[in-house]
Amino acid sequence: MIKAMDETVDPCDDFHEYACGRYLKENVIPEDKTSIGRFVTLDDEVRLKLRASLEEDVGPNDIKATIKAKDMYAACVNETLIENRRMTPMRDYINSLGGWPILGNVSWSTWKENEFDWQSLAAQTRRLSIFALMSPIVDIDSKNSSVFILKLEHAYQLGMPGSNSREYLLNGRNDTFVKAYEEWMVSFVMLMKETDDKTIEAKVRKDVGDVIDFDMEIANITISKEERRDRERFYNKWTIEFLQKNITEVDWLRYFNKVFEGVNVTIKKDLEINVAVPQYIRNLIALVNRTPKHVVANYLLWIAMTDAGGLHLSVGIDFKEIKYRYNEVLFGSTLDKPRWELCTVFTADYLIKLPSSRLYLANNFNRESKKVALDMVHELKLSFAEMVKELDWMDDATKKVALDKLEAMRMIIGFEDFILEDAERLNKEYEELKINRGQMFESVVEGMYYLANNGLKKIGQLVTDENSGLSQALPPHQVNAAYDPSLNQMIFASGILQGLFFNKDFPKALNFGAIGVVIGHEMTHGFDDEGRLYDKDGNLFQWWSENVIKDFKKRAQCFINQYGNFTIPEINMNLNGINTQGENIADNGGLKQALSAYRNWAKRQDGRENGLPGLALSNEQLFFLSFAQIWCGKERPEQLIKRVRTLRHPNGRFRAFGTLQNCPDFSEAFNCKKGDKMNPENKCKLW
């Protein structure tokens, strides 16, 4: 802790600099990374351990599912074989989707305009886990959380790769990042055509421009992140028959049945679905119908090749190099990540999550730590309950329902036991996934089908612990935690229950300041501007009185204003206070909860807890230092721009700075005077 600090800084002037100043001065962002920080360091350690597990020879302790993970990793790192096969598998893949018109008259291309049907191709690509144009997904019913429902959403993927590319595209063709996207697509097509002829390139550039214009038009009709926070607005339960009468240009029964072709489900006209964005669907169909067929086909095939699973890892080095040039502009990193790391991320974080976690957990988790962490969660729950009871802006009736929701909140600490103890269940979950060590490209395509089928087959099923998907969404090896409002459930992955975040032998002040705040953060998500819309059973339901809602929104606006006025000096841009409000509410609530829980624990010990040698700080000061130091880190300007434009979390500096500004107990602990930067007169408070 001492090595990270700059004790020459006044903690009442800038506590983040006081806590992290030396760390920031002495650490440089590696060329292959967009940031450094405590999360990144721990993530790197976990990936090295995962790599070691994935590279081990298959042994007697392996099960079928873990063998598939090892096979996938082995296929991915075999660059020699991938290079030898070059474009052959990609050509077969393109033709299986009907061909790619942008390639023109290359001998192997099969596209025929008179046979093109965008609805069929959109359904076919959806079966490959591609969410272009529109996204039919199977999800927990927001108003009946006991069952899975079909939901029709807007495009989750645009032609510019990344789930957050909308805000870049809205800036137009002259945006630096959009220009990089254009150059990448032109280079990709020229490689596929195997020519550097300038006349051909000019034609390709025109076709690419049409695709990007189409992409920008789609971005323009998608729903902004600010609007998406109103969950009630995006719940519209229609039968497919009603959908057909209201939006007639698509044969919906044919479309949905093609989507579900791989899971032997027949969709009928009386099926109720959630048409989340009817106006977007109308606008999309109008756009597609006025766009030339070849442009739509070029768009869908581009996404199917470049933003689908691990296909970018399945082609030759020349394709990798042009993708890297795009990434360099978008993310600022000047060196690509090593192959082993890319393959570890693809295998363990995307395709074969739980078997990879099983390999990791076998050697890297202490069950005693799981028990200590569980005890902390119970302490945090008690402190949050006390906070609710003391609120002066919430009436008694709403408090009772809030406390009922808190009591019903479930949790996964570290991992679900079946991952280590039920080989049969794990093997069954992955039995349909076919992996071939000698065929990386085909294995990735199989994986895309597998992931799509795994989600689609849940339609109409009752929601259970086995199929809810929470451990799949956040596998145990990841350095993260989450809250799912539809399940009213928290998960704290094993990956985050270590390092500076948590150690069962650390002083409690440090554990409560780090992982304790993380636990409180996730718990508070159940009561932030989005989580509060769900009841204790995970249903979208208005359980707040109108006066309480009014007071909540007024207090939430304080956070929007506070964080929206923070300027990131490296890029001279302000944080988005609206998009980050849920995280900021959770950070502030989590800190207050964790401090209260620590104080309750300390009282039971009669104050008997040793401090840290070499630091003349009280235990409560250590608590705040531990909290601030989990946010030690820095990011490249490109990553900061992405954060402001598209992400839900502020950067680490303002997560520490803003939260501590609002905390009177912090100012008291460090004797900060009213009017000091860390102790402003006006503070935001919700929970």
Enumerate the active-site residues.
522, 587
Cβ contact 567:349 at 8 Å: no
- Mind giving me the DSSP string for 505-533? TS-HHHHHHTHHHHHHHHHHHTTSTTGGG
Identify the CA nearest to 518 among candidates 362, 672, 649: 649
Task: Kindly report the backbone phi and psi dihedral angles of residue 110, in degrees, each rounded to the nearest multiple of 5, phi listed first.
Answer: -120, 5
CB–CB of 134/284 below 8 Å?
yes
d(CA 68, CA 437): 9
- According to DSSP, the residues that pair with 410 across neighbouring strands are 489
Backbone angles phi, psi at 490, to 5 degrees: -105, 155
Instruction: Give the CA distances from residue 105 to residues 100, 101, 109, 324, in Å, rounded to whole numbers and listed in that order.
Output: 10, 8, 7, 28
Residue 65 host element (H or E): helix 64-77
Q: What is the DSSP letter of 90?
A: H
Place of tokens 């700059």: 6
- In the chain, the amino acid numbered 241 is E
SS3 annotation, 370-411: HHHHHHHHHHHHHHHHHHHHHCCCCCHHHHHHHHHHHHHCEE
- Distance (Å, rounded) from C-alpha 504 to C-alpha 27? 28
Instruction: Give the pair of three-digit tokens for residue 542.
Output: 């208005």
Cα–Cα distance between 474 and 476 in angstroms, integer?
Answer: 6
SS3 for 135? Answer: strand
Bridge partners, 138 (sequence order): 150
Q: Do residues 650 and 563 make contact, with C-beta atoms less than 8 angstroms apart?
A: yes
Contacts of 183 (CB under 8 A, 6+ apart): 325, 326
The phi and psi torsions of 397 (rounded to 5 degrees) equal: -65, -45
For residue 41, give the 3-state DSSP assignment: helix
Helix (H), strand (E), coil (C) string for 282-310? HHHHHHHHCCCHHHHHHHHHHHHHHCCCC
Angle, helix 64-77 to helix 38-55, in steps of 10 degrees: 100
Q: Which of 91, 54, 162, 67 is nearest to 441 (CA)?
A: 91
DSSP 8-state assignment for residue 461: P
φ/ψ bin of 503: left (φ > 0), alpha (ψ from -120 to 50), beta (otherwise): beta
Q: Which two tokens stand for residue 567?
A: 């300027």
